[in-house]
Amino acid sequence: MLPYLISVVIMASGLANQPQELASHSLSLKNRYAVASVNEIFKYNILRTLEINGYEFELKPGEQFAFHDQILPEYAPSVVGKAHYNGAQGFKSDGYLMGDGVCHLASFLNMVALQAGLETYVPKNHDFAAIPDVPKKYGVSIYSTSATNNLYITNTKPYSIKFKFSIEGDQLTLKISELSTLRVEN
């Protein structure tokens, strides 16, 4: 009878399934590019990606995430981003690329995922251009028609992982948390 009572108390107190934060980082949307008009397009495309893909997702143990749907065979099936970075989905061009700026979001995601202890694979680094607030070693080149211009994240943990983006003013924050369930055996 006592183990059951402990289980009820733990569940009632809300301690079960409490996310434990593994990593959290913020990124300014004000300094994506030195030219203000281009910065606004980068910011818009980053926010558009989050609108299409959602501001949070979860990876179960062993699951993989791909930033877009052109995937290397070893990463299929994966949890996949739905954005294609084209005009049909409402993305904008700064005169260079449609969807320009999404490499910043992918690089930011890569950096925080690595800080959380997750496994990432970046076939093509974005070291050809600086990404403010993200060291070059975390850079990810994104091109929606190429599996080698993608970001792959694998949950190697024995528990589910939650990725949650939030925006406050011009600050984009990503929190990565473990979702572990506290179990009490009867």
Q: What pLDDT does residue 182 have? A: 45
What domain range is 102 assigned to? Answer: 19-179
pTM given for the model: 0.87
pLDDT at 155 over 90: yes
Residue 121 lies in a domain: yes
Q: Does residue 10 belong to any structural domain of this protein?
A: no
pLDDT tens profile 95-110: 989 999 999 999 999 9
Q: Which string of DSSP letters, residue by residue, matches the chain? A: -HHHHHHHHHHHHT-TT-EEEEEEEEEESS-S-SSHHHHHHHHHHHHHHHHHH-SEEEE-TT-EEESSS---GGG-S-EE-----SGGGT--B-SS-BTTTHHHHHHHHHHHHHHTT-EEE-SS--TTS-BTTB-GGG-----TT-TTS--EEE--SSSEEEEEEEEETTEEEEEEEEE-------
* 48 occurs within a structural domain: yes
Indicate the number of domains in the chain: 1
100 part of a folded domain: yes
pLDDT given for residue 63 in this prediction: 96
Q: Is residue 103 situated within a structural domain?
A: yes
Is residue 119 a part of any domain in this protein?
Answer: yes
Please give the average per-residue pLDDT across 9-38, as a whole number: 79
Q: Could you tell me if residue 14 is inside a domain?
A: no
Domain annotation covers residue 3:
no
